[in-house]
Structure 1
Amino acid sequence: MTMNAISRSQIYVLDQDEALDFYIGKLGLELNTDQDLGFMRWLTVNVPGDREREILLEKPGPPNLDPVTAEQVRELLTKGAAGGFLFMTTDDAHKTYEELVAKGVDITDEPMERPYGIDFGIRDPFGNRIRIGQMFERP
């Protein structure tokens, strides 16, 4: 068996409309799917032009979590203890950093050169951590 791609990732958010405002309005991602499945809202975003890889912005609850567990996840998420982690790339880390600062994004650390590139950290409104990096060419 051989896997050939990662097509979807998932993070928990407390408010899907607020998540859309952040991921589309501030980070510049685009809406992929917004569908009411009855038991949940299937809401995904993707990097512009890359509709093959999407991020599910999921509210804690059914069908994946029972009500008690969903409440525990919401509490941990609110405390910043259960957030997910996303890694994104950019062509210019310093420019992207300045644009996000201007938009009021929660910055966790400033751009720093590392062995693999220049990266910095941000946090979404729900505590999910995001690293944004300008990667160096591999030898």
Structure 2
Amino acid sequence: MKKSISKSLLNFAFEFNIKKKNNDYKMTITNIYVIDQNSAYDFYVNKLGFRLVDDIPMGPETRWLTVSPPEQPDLQLVLFPVTVSKMFPKEVAENLIDLIKRGFSVVGY
């Protein structure tokens, strides 16, 4: 049972993030883990010229924030905040924040 659940979740993630077009597979959405969504927004939109796709409040301190590079309108980058939560326990969040501060790009889907 555990294997089939994991496999179906993996298939869902693959189908959700990758679309087939003209026999080519294209990634359509992926996460960029960030420390501060406002700074990330400024960097991607104001400095790199990315287009804002979604900016939806998700509570008092976070939001669903996606941007798209102008030359790849089908690709969305989720500017996902790293905070202590069920997804990021304290030690994991601290390590991710440390990596980001040291200049590593932390990406996932």
The question of a shared fold, defined as TM-score above 0.5 by the shorter chain, is answered with yes
Residues 1:31 and 1:42: Cα distance change in structure 2 (over 3 Å): same
Q: Which residue type is aligned with residue 57 of structure 1?
A: L
Alignment correspondent of 1:26: 47
Counterpart contact for 1:40–1:63, Cα < 8 Å: no
Instruction: State yes or no: 1:60 paired with 2:60.
Output: no
SS at match of 2:92: helix
TM-score by length of 1: 0.50
Partner Cα separation in structure 2 for residue 27 and residue 73 of structure 1? 23
Residues 1:33 and 1:55: Cα distance change in structure 2 (over 3 Å): same
Counterpart contact for 2:52–2:67, Cα < 8 Å: yes
In the TM superposition, what is the alpha-carbon distance from 1:51 to its structure 2 partner? Answer: 4.4
Partner deviation per Cα, 1:98-118 (whole Å, 9 max, x = no partner): xxxxxxxxxxxxxxxxxxxxx
In the TM superposition, what is the alpha-carbon distance from 1:69 to its structure 2 partner? Answer: 1.0
Instruction: State yes or no: 1:13 paired with 2:42.
Output: no
TM-score by length of 2: 0.62
Q: Which has the higher contact order (CA 8 A, sep 6+)?
A: 2
Partner Cα separation in structure 2 for residue 63 and residue 44 of structure 1? 22
In the TM superposition, what is the alpha-carbon distance from 1:21 to its structure 2 partner? Answer: 0.9
Structure 1 unaligned regions, length at least 5: 86-139
In the TM superposition, what is the alpha-carbon distance from 1:57 to its structure 2 partner? Answer: 0.9
Structure 2 unaligned regions, length at least 5: 1-10, 21-25
How many residues end up aligned between the 2 structures? 84
Alignment correspondent of 1:70: 93
SS at match of 1:64: coil
Which structure is higher in strand share? 1
Instruction: State yes or no: 1:84 paired with 2:106.
Output: yes
SS at match of 2:49: coil
Partner Cα separation in structure 2 for residue 40 and residue 47 of structure 1? 22
| TM-align CA RMSD | 2.6
Partner deviation per Cα, 1:75-125 (whole Å, 9 max, x = no partner): 121122x4237xxxxxxxxxxxxxxxxxxxxxxxxxxxxxxxxxxxxxxxx
Instruction: State yes or no: 1:37 paired with 2:51.
Output: no
